[in-house]
Amino acid sequence: MLEIKNVSVGYRDKKILEGINLSVQAGEFLLICGKSGSGKTTIARILAKSLNCEHPKEGEPCGQCQSCRDIDTGRFVDLLRRIEARLSRAD
């Protein structure tokens, strides 16, 4: 199971996400949808860091390992491929 609790994220003076809770069981699928700027990629990055962090601390991504840094800067290939595949499909 992957779980995030009470996540809040902002950029500059704008809150993007506030108090987000999410639980995904093994074998479940997750669809993230919303308007541009609503936090979809931010949630995807949080989940990717939770799953790929090389040195988690008490269940939290460290934010400093190569995987966490790559995800934060948009260079994490798996995440980029999945987002790109979705964006390239016709709606």
Query: What residues form DSSP beta bridges with 57?
Result: 60
pTM of the predicted protein model: 0.74
Buried b (16+ CB within 10 A) or exposed e, 52-80: bbeeeeeeebeeebebbebbeeeebeebe
33, 56 in Cβ contact below 8 A?
no
Convert the pLDDT of each residue in 32-88 to its tens digit.
Answer: 888 888 888 888 888 888 888 999 998 889 999 999 999 988 888 776 666 556 555
Q: What is the pLDDT of residue 54?
A: 94
